Structure 1
């Protein structure tokens, strides 16, 4: 077993399983996708550390525990279409692709998007497509989606994204309140979304997902 493969097993055994993630497809995906491939070259040695990894200003690869718990709560099915908002270099999309039928991986940073497409292709992930566009606008072309995941913190979610969720669908995001965050799952029914808090987590707020700040005199 290669050194990175053994670190992957260690990550699952020490970060994912102890966090009550028990669904086999998620464990299998986390064991199978080479996280070190989907991080910047200078972060490869830190790929399996239990923390968010910086990709660009305000952009991270979510720590394995956070991603696994979010996916566990979303319970993605093999027939479902998923929009992965802020896919970065494609790690989350590669993991989700092992759970879903198809993943639309949205990235607005053109360099990250190009690298994500290349890395996903090199890893043989043929059911994930990378789309370049503003994160706040989602990707209407393939909407509506069964599931939407947001790879970073939010204070609020733009209406355009919520509109792209299928009725009966689920959306998962980390809502930040200053330094404190809570992962929530939203369930859409009758055009309305009901949110449920599932666990504590933190991530930088994605550009465009902060609440407008009022002026204070």
Structure 2
């Protein structure tokens, strides 16, 4: 794809997909204009890098759409001093955005193939404050916590308390919670050792993260 086409596609992504979704944080918009999404997608899908699509990844996984990535990033309110835990590295693109906003990012990914893919992408992008590890993100990383921010890079039926326990007081967890066809972006803020505040500012749909428990549904 010629550089001009990439620039045009990226501009259109920001102006036609992301701004209309109430992503107005100038820092987030600047990041999306500078971090090349086409360098984080599988080579066969480069032409779709800036489209409003969930791009397929190895192992049956998918990248979130650009507007969902951008809105999660904005609503997580990542600060330069923050320690971030990401669950589900995928291609490493959201990881890269988080790393540019935070002090450090630990990212957990189940698939060894995606771990290698994301590490390669992040290295090529010159991002060094990220530790990508193969691991079960549903368990979190208590030994490396607590964290200022936890971001789930896919949807879950419910947020495990085990992850909430790994938030610092004042920390935020950003996730997409629910079941098809109703899922909601969920921002949970830890307000004290025992209390949490939850908001669900927007609806969306997103691929499932693996190894998270499904909510039991009983019928009588």
TM-score (norm: length of structure 2): 0.91
Checking the alignment, whether the CA contact within 8 Å between 1:133 and 1:139 is kept in structure 2 is no
Q: Distance in 1 between matches of 2:160 and 2:7?
A: 38
SS of the residue corresponding to residue 101 of structure 2 reads coil
| Aligned CA-pair RMSD | 1.8
Question: Per the alignment, do residues 155 and 112 of structure 1 end up closer, same or farther by CA in structure 2, a change over 3 Å counting?
Answer: same
Structure 1 runs (4+) deviating above 3 angstroms are 212-217
Q: CA deviation at 1:141?
A: 3.3
Q: Which deviates further from its counterpart, 55-64 or 176-185?
A: 55-64
Alignment of 1:141-152 (within 5 A): 141-152=143-154
Aligned to 2:66: 64
Aligned to 1:2: 4
Question: Per the alignment, do residues 179 and 210 of structure 1 end up closer, same or farther by CA in structure 2, a change over 3 Å counting?
Answer: farther
Equivalent in 168, 171, 183 of residue 170 of structure 2: 168
What is the CA deviation profile of residues 98-151 of structure 1, one whole-angstrom value per residue up to 9, with x for unaligned ones?
111111121111110111111101110111221211121112232111001001
Aligned to 1:202: 205
Aligned to 2:31: 29
Q: Distance in 2 between matches of 1:151 and 1:59?
A: 11
What is the CA deviation profile of residues 55-93 of structure 1, one whole-angstrom value per residue up to 9, with x for unaligned ones?
245632111111111221121111111111101110001
Gaps of 5+ in 1: none
What is the CA deviation profile of residues 160-179 of structure 1, one whole-angstrom value per residue up to 9, with x for unaligned ones?
22221111100000112232
Q: CA deviation at 1:12?
A: 0.7
Alignment of 1:57-206 (within 5 A): 59-190=61-192, 191-206=194-209
Q: Which deviates further from its counterpart, 33-42 or 204-213?
A: 204-213
SS of the residue corresponding to residue 49 of structure 1 reads coil
Checking the alignment, whether the CA contact within 8 Å between 1:58 and 1:205 is kept in structure 2 is no
Aligned to 1:55: 57
Q: Which deviates further from its counterpart, 73-82 or 135-144?
A: 135-144
SS of the residue corresponding to residue 194 of structure 1 reads strand
Question: Per the alignment, do residues 14 and 104 of structure 1 end up closer, same or farther by CA in structure 2, a change over 3 Å counting?
Answer: same
Checking the alignment, whether the CA contact within 8 Å between 1:102 and 1:128 is kept in structure 2 is yes
Checking the alignment, whether the CA contact within 8 Å between 2:110 and 2:136 is kept in structure 1 is yes
Q: Distance in 2 between matches of 1:13 and 1:97?
A: 23
